[in-house]
Structure 1
Amino acid sequence: MSLSRRELIKLAGMAGAATVFPRLASAKGIEKKDVKIAVGGQALIYYLPLTIAQRRGFFKDEGLDAQVIDFAGGSKALQAVVGGSADVVSGAFEHTIMLQSKGQFYRTFAQQGQAPMMVLGVSTKTMAGYKSPADLKGKKVGVTAPGSSTNMMVSFFLTKHGLKPTDVSIIGVGAGAGAITALRTGQIDAMCNVDPVISTLVHAKELRIISDTRTLKDTHEVFGGNMPSGCLYAAQSFLDKNPNTAQALANAIVRADKWIHAASLDDIAKTVPQSYLLGDAELYKLALKGNMEAISPDGMVAKDGPETALKAQAAYIPNFPVSKIDISKIWTNQFAIKANKKYPHA
């Protein structure tokens, strides 16, 4: 096929533009289609948007081949992305602050939870006489994994009530049936975990709740403001190198957030793997109902949320370098804003 002189000049111009502005030429192209997402305890409702995006094919719809790698807790997922075996973390927002305090820059770019959803409770068997936080001194407290967000909440709770994080023994128990067994068999005296683990134990009257962050009201009472929780975060270098990939990931998560709020409890329970139900679909749906407000409706981080998260870390970590933290570098809503334009409805 022969080309006219005008067409040849037009093609030459396009080639020149691609040379000067390589990003412009591939603006709509995804830089990295095979993405590894690390998560700590995917079966938890805390990570429900990630599961929905995966199970309903939202990542594939965006042109991604997203592989979710599940770990025992958020701290393990964080280690995976820092170590290079994963690209993105579906984890706790506050990890980005902790990483920056160590000179590592990671940024949240899509929110899954607008409240922590974490619950701290004591065993009705080994701590039947619990009266105040002081009773926790010397006790064994289960968390999903040492260093994870559940561990952070325990430390914050203890500090808020005049105790030190070292006043208790922190034990990693995971985020599923193993955590339930640990409490039932007396391996731990108290636990900080999320649903469906918490609702299963409360329903069986084996756990007494002493601090709850599954609603916005309770979260404000505990932390003094909005507290972002589950999110997608990645190294700033990854976002700089793969902006279209990050946008595709954010699109899928925002779409999942909206789908969850529009779906029935039955639809959600049928979508997640059967193992997530822990053998009781009705109890799982009850837990879903109790956490629905905590799941982000649009993937956006509340403007006061980062400051609340920073204050929470500074409250229990000795000599935390608050003045050195630039919270503007740990989050952005730019991807979520675009995702909401693409998916204005569920």
Structure 2
Amino acid sequence: MKKTLRAALAMLAGSMLLLSACQEKPKEKKLEKVRVAEVTRSIFYTPEYVALAKGFFKEEGLDVNLTTTWGGDKTMTALLSGGADIALVGSETSIYVHAQGSNDPVINFAQLTQTDGTFLVSREKIDNFSWDLLKGKTFLGQRKGGMPQMAGEFVLKKHGIEPHKDLKLIQNIDFANIANAFAGGTGEFVQLFEPTASIFEKEGKGHIVASFGTESGHLPYTTFMAKESYMKKNPATIEKFTKALYKAQQWVAKTDSKDIAKAIEPYFEDTDPGIIETVVERYKSQGSFATDPILDEDEWNNLQDIMDEAGELPQRIGHKTLVNTDIAEKVK
């Protein structure tokens, strides 16, 4: 009796194993690949890295492949040539493309940063800084036609400084080499992004004396954009992408700088964690990170005012022509 029972149980167990083996495993949801080209790698773009690190893109069914293209021209070339689906770059680039008569305009659909991201760094420590101290000095600025340079000149003029008359202005150094040039002894003042500005301050190579971001006001400094044809063909993809970004923006807004810095550390392996936290806090405190992806008309007009002031605005473009807020508003 016992032998018969054991045999029956063994057969039942075997049948269950066989049945289990025959059953198909549930298929994992296939993620949609999206190629994103970012203009540079910067803590200024923190919400983007949070969306990747916290898995917000994957939650929306997207596999985002991020490439750093190092420069506005290269980023836009990647987008226009089909080398990228979405670009993270200054909104002014979409205006430049439109002015050249593109049949497939580049549309801004989600804002990432809403202030300038550069800081004024002095070679010497200044206890009581005032902008007129720059007059007659050698100023190492950013590339002509780029948003950092235009915002920088806007702020200087706001403080009564004519950049091309009152300063010894240097603008012919490549973006990637500006910091090295200053460290090598060129210029008494320099306009730098983070974390370079904070690193220089920590190493005693310079001292942060002012923020161009707080001085220039709100503007769509860096936005996610795509060709109109891509957006029409992939509306669900754009919506999912924007939704994931909004989750990240809200997470950043509600989280302290230390935890934010820890989340994005993998994207800045060569940067001291303490510096990352300092930079995140600096950008967060001055409101550089947009808290939602909506690029409103006031910001768009401020951008064009700054471009116009710098003599770089080819033509004034209506907000609705190159900006799509429908998706961002739906997501919010």
Q: Give the TM-score band, short-chain normalised.
A: 0.7 to 0.9
Contact conserved, 1:97 with 1:327, CA < 8 A, in 2?
no
Corresponding residue to 1:68 among 53, 66, 72: 66
Q: Which of 309, 317, 324 lines up with 1:332 in the alignment? A: 324
1:17-166 aligned within 5 A: 33-42=32-41, 44-104=42-102, 105-124=105-124, 132-136=133-137, 140-141=140-141, 143=142, 147-157=145-155, 161-164=161-164
Q: Do 2:219 and 2:303's aligned partners in 1 also have CA atoms closer than 8 Å?
A: yes
Q: How many residue pairs end up in the alignment?
A: 291
C-alpha spacing 1:108/1:117, structure 2 compared with 1 (3 Å): same
The letter for the 2-side match of 1:171 is: I
Match of 2:10 in 1: none
Partner of 2:174: 172
C-alpha separation in 2, matches of 1:213 and 1:158: 9
Is 2:216 the partner of 1:219? yes
Q: Given the two structures, how large is their TM-score scaled by the length of structure 1?
A: 0.73
Aligned mate of 1:315, from 296, 309, 330: 309
CA distance in 2, matches of 1:272, 1:204: 23
CA distance in 2, matches of 1:180, 1:318: 24
Partners of 1:298 and 1:117 lie apart in 2 by 18
- Measure how far apart 1:182 and its partner are: 3.7
Query: What is the aligned counterpart of 1:272 among 260, 264, 272?
Result: 264
Q: CA RMSD for the aligned pairs?
A: 3.1
The gaps in structure 2 that reach 5 residues or longer are 1-30, 126-130
Question: Identity over aligned residues, as a percent?
Answer: 21
Computing the radius of gyration from Cα coordinates, the structure with the larger value is 2
Shift of the 214–167 alpha-carbon distance from structure 1 to 2, 3 Å rule, reads closer
- Cα deviation for residue 131 of structure 1 reads 5.2
Distance 1:331 1:210, change over 3 A: farther
TM-score, with length taken from structure 2: 0.76
The answer (yes or no) to whether the contact 1:261–1:297 under 8 Å persists in 2 is yes
Equivalent position amino acid for 1:119 in 2:
F
What is the distance in 2 between the residues matched to 1:245 and 1:318? 33
**1:195 paired to 2:187:** no
**Structure 1: which 5+ residue stretches go unaligned?**
1-31, 221-225, 341-346
Whole-Å Cα distance in 2 between the matches of residues 319 and 300 of structure 1?
Answer: 23
Q: Which amino acid aligns with 2:216?
A: T
Secondary structure in 2 matching 1:135: coil
Q: Secondary structure at the match of 1:290?
A: helix
> Is the CA contact 1:124–1:207 (under 8 Å) kept in the aligned structure 2?
yes
Deviations 1:134-188 (A, max 9, x none): 4356x543x4x665432333454566632349953331243xxx66444322256
SS of residue in 2 equivalent to 1:98 = helix
